[in-house]
Amino acid sequence: MHRTYSETAQHILTCAQTMRGGGVERALLRMAEGWLREGRRVTLVLGSEEGPLAAEIPAGIELIRLGDARYSALFALAGHARATAPDLIFCPGNHYSAVAAMARLRLGRASPPIVAKVSNALIRPEQGRIAAWAYRRWLRLHPRFLDHVVAMTPAMAAEARAEMGMPADRVSVIANPPALRRPDAAPVKLPDGRYIIGVGRLEPQKRWDRLIAALPHIADRHVKLLILGEGGARAALEAQVAALGLTARVSMPGHVGDPLPALAGATVAVLTSDYEGVPGVLREALSVGTPVISTESSVAVREIITLPEHGMVIPREDPETLVAALDHWLNPAAIRPSPVAAAGDPIAEYLALFDQLAAARHT
């Protein structure tokens, strides 16, 4: 890799497996857009452009297309780092930690600083004993190949320090850039009348089956359910909807480019996941004044739902409490919260951290 003499992070290298619609990748594209706007060069090593998020790739980003959606294809990141000589490598989430580890192993002392964002919970109660043991061992290796970790809330930062053993001076708290309206996005067909909304991939982690199972038990038998997202659990969820006779009340139109209008029109937004990092959908719902219900899927959930008027946090495996929470917020007398504005300037905060690490490399 050619030596770079920049003392600021003028060139950022990052990666993504596909553009199929995960929150990690969507946040990465928002960050890249902000970094480009501030005059930085951003190179994205992309496994496959397959997926709806391809339409959100910002103009000006330099794409290295691998044409291979397999995770292992991203292990080529080190070679592309040698060829492009970035000032810093950014790992956009937990899913990509092994890619960062492989890059460090292959680049050795020639590696630029590697920064990783914690995008999912580091304590996973749904794991079995052996899987949990192996995961903890893996987390403890992270200080060896990461120079710095970014957590999105203070509680997530504390979890990173505890579970990874990452020194406090190598952990920062920076929120994701807030989601903004996308006027170019195709509109979502909304249900007639009042509706509950869920936003997220149709994957086992999200446990949309819990929300679907609750629908026949709520007091308002006319309220609809709208779930926005796509994924491998679609067939199982559709079968569940049919088995419960809910076809007329549940719609799952797939991925949408801009969920904010649908969130704004919903009576309540619900997240039923087994585990999360800092679920952006909760912040997005509150930003448009829609109350939220979330399972205790992350230490960050209670940092978002900070007031009773914002919503409720419920146990993961408690269907009765989920139904009670839905009945509460579906009651016509329930008062919607005032919109919660995002604080801070995440783009500037990221670049300040990147510049600090790039400068330290040359001292």
Give the long-range contacts of residues 205-209, CB within 8 A, separation 24 or more: 205/273, 205/274, 205/275, 206/231, 206/233, 206/271, 206/272, 206/273, 207/272, 207/273, 207/274, 207/295, 207/316, 208/233, 208/237, 208/272, 209/236, 209/237, 209/240
- For 195-330, CATH gives 3.40.50.2000
CATH of 11-177+344-361, picked from 3.30.70.1400, 3.40.50.620, 2.40.320.10, 3.40.50.2000, is 3.40.50.2000
How would you classify the pairing of strands 268-271 and 250-254? unpaired
Q: What is the DSSP string of 284-301?
A: HHHHTT--EEEES--TTH
Convert the pLDDT of each residue in 146-162 to its tens digit: 999 999 999 999 999 99
Return d(Cα 276, Cα 268) in angstroms, integer: 19
Give 195's strand partners.
224
Residues 246, 212 contacting (CB under 8 angstroms): yes
pLDDT of residue 1: 41
| pLDDT the model gives residue 236 | 98
- State the pLDDT at residue 251: 97
Fold match flag (11-177+344-361 vs 195-330) = yes
Instruction: Report domain extents, the chain.
Output: 11-177+344-361, 195-330
pLDDT at 22: 80
Q: What is the pLDDT of residue 6?
A: 67
Residues of the chain with pLDDT under 50: 1-5
